[in-house]
Chains A and B, each alone.
Chain A
Amino acid sequence: ETGVTQTPRHLVMGMTNKKSLKCEQHLGHNAMYWYKQSAKKPLELMFVYNFKEQTENNSVPSRFSPECPNSSHLFLHLHTLQPEDSALYLCASSLPHKGSGNTIYFGEGSWLTVV
Chain B
Amino acid sequence: TQLLEQSPQFLSIQEGENLTVYCNSSSVFSSLQWYRQEPGEGPVLLVTVVTGGEVKKLKRLTFQFGDARKDSSLHITAAQPGDTGLYLCAGGGNAGNMLTFGGGTRLMVKP
Residue numbers of A with Cβ under 8 A of B are 2, 4, 6, 31, 41-43, 45, 48, 50, 55-56, 90, 92, 94-109, 111
Looking at chain B, what size class is its interface with the partner chain?
20 to 34
Is A99 within 8 A of B42, CB to CB? no
Is A43 within 8 A of B97, CB to CB? no
Using a Cβ cutoff of 8 Å, how many contacts connect chains A and B? 69
Question: How long is the Cα–Cα vector from A4 to B44 in the complex, in angstroms?
Answer: 11
What are 5 A-B interface contacts by the 8 Å CB criterion? A42-B102, A50-B97, A90-B43, A98-B96, A108-B40
Residue numbers of B with Cβ under 8 A of A are 4, 30-31, 33, 35, 40-45, 48, 50, 88, 90, 92, 94-99, 101-104
Known contacts A43-B88, A90-B43, A108-B42: does B101 contact A103 (CB below 8 Å)? no
